[in-house]
Amino acid sequence: MNILLVMNDYEGDNAFSAPVRETVNELRRMGLRIGVLTGSSRTDRDEQENGDLFALPFGRTVRIRAGRGEERYRLALVDPDRVSRAVAWADLVHIEEAGKLCTQAARAAAARDLPVTGSFRLYPESIRDLAHFGRTMNGMHMEQYRDYTYSYCEAIRCPSEHVYRRLKHYNFESRLAVMEGGISTEVLVESEKPFVYDEPYLADPAPLVQMFAGGDIPVIADYPSSAAAEYALTPRNRYAPGHDRRRDRCLRYWAQQEGERKAISLLYRQKAMQLSSRNLARRLLGMMRDVYYGRG
């Protein structure tokens, strides 16, 4: 089975792209043929015959918040001929985001009667160009994501329970499956330092998990609009946004209580090990195979 993964900035140095590369590397280690349709600075000569890369030129850059503060994210210029060539190579298409590129690829796959799966990893509020809109407009964006991009997906990976609930709220009709993780566990420096994590619209907690994988202890701002607080293992790992005294008390507690700090640090390391890119790749492949072979 040739799997084509589609996203704008696969090679980008940002929290949104890094977990995808980790998962793709694991899928390739499992012997799968994974092609990537993405914006790239590589030339056509770099495009591999085995479908390693289907490169598009970059257009504009937007700012996103995907787990490590505000970062750059480059958008590809959509070339219908290149999109069609990439889709023609594939047996299944997997999209990583909403937007023009993924919509075009999903539509081309549907025209060829190819199965499409997806991941929903970025809320509209996390895109700076959209973040100034109010709740009503962001709800409209969710409906556009549903109707114009994800309507082609037979199954969607939700990276958190928070995403699952939100997609259910907006009546996404695809089969939804919660699959957390996607982090690298190969090179970790063990530590036990408490740190503050404040991301109001986090959909995919993988960047947070990567931060505590070595044993550092998060004190998480508990926004109802964010999945981050799902990883508060105790009440002292969360605080209400704006309650600075509560936040500082939690930080002092973990800094001063050596026994408790060591115990919670171990729990966080163990939690992260369960959410490796290898484990995610296995589950994601299972979803793809269910869709592909379930068609009869």
Q: Are residues 245 and 285 in the same domain?
A: no
Report the predicted TM-score, pTM, of the whole model to 2 decimal places. 0.93
For residues 237 and 152, state if they share a domain.
no
- Give mean pLDDT, residues 157-176: 97
Query: What local confidence, expressed as pLDDT, does residue 51 receive?
Result: 56
- Are residues 137 and 284 both part of a single domain? yes
Is 252 inside any structural domain?
Answer: yes
Q: Is there a contact between 6 and 102 (Cβ–Cβ < 8 Å)?
A: yes
Same structural domain for residues 201 and 258? yes
- Does the residue 69 lie in any domain? yes
Tokens of 64: 């996103």
The pLDDT score that the predictor gives to residue 114 is 98
The set of residues, in sequence order, having a beta carbon less than 8 Å from that of 262 and lying 6+ positions away, is 192
What is the C-alpha separation between 126 and 14, in angstroms, rounded? 13
Domain identity same for 122 and 231: no
Report yes or no on 188 lying in a domain: no
How many Å apart are CA 200 and CA 132, to the nearest integer? 14
Residue 187 lies in a domain: no
CA dihedral in degrees (65, 66, 68, 72; nearest 10)? -60
- Give the domain range for residue 239: 194-273
- Same domain for 283 and 170, yes or no, is yes
Answer whether residue 163 shows pLDDT above 70. yes
CATH number at residue 219: 3.40.50.2000
Q: What is the mean pLDDT of the chain?
A: 92
Query: Cα separation of 177 and 158, whole Å?
Result: 6
pLDDT in tens, 32-77: 999 999 999 875 545 544 458 999 999 999 999 988 889 999 999 9
Between the CA of residue 152 and those of 22, 77, 167, 200, what are the distances in Å? 25, 21, 15, 29
Residue with tokens 């919670």: 264
Domain membership flag for residue 26: yes
* The predicted structure's pLDDT at residue 185: 85
pLDDT band, residue 237 (cuts 50/70/90): very high
Does residue 6 fall inside a structural domain?
Answer: yes
Amino acid at 101: L
Same domain for 169 and 29: yes
Residue 151 lies inside a defined structural domain of this protein: yes
Tokens of 284: 């994601």
- Is residue 157 domain-shared with residue 127, that is, in the same domain? yes
Average pLDDT over residues 5-30: 95
In the prediction, which pLDDT does 50 show? 45
Say whether both 145 and 228 belong to one domain.
Answer: no
The answer to whether residues 11 and 112 belong to one domain is yes
Residue 189 covered by a domain: no
Question: Is residue 55 located within the same domain as residue 151?
Answer: yes
pLDDT per position as a tens digit, 200-218: 999 999 999 999 999 999 9
Please state the domain count of the chain: 2
Confidence band, pLDDT 50/70/90 cuts, at residue 295: confident
Mean pLDDT of 150-173: 98
Q: Are residues 84 and 204 in the same domain?
A: no
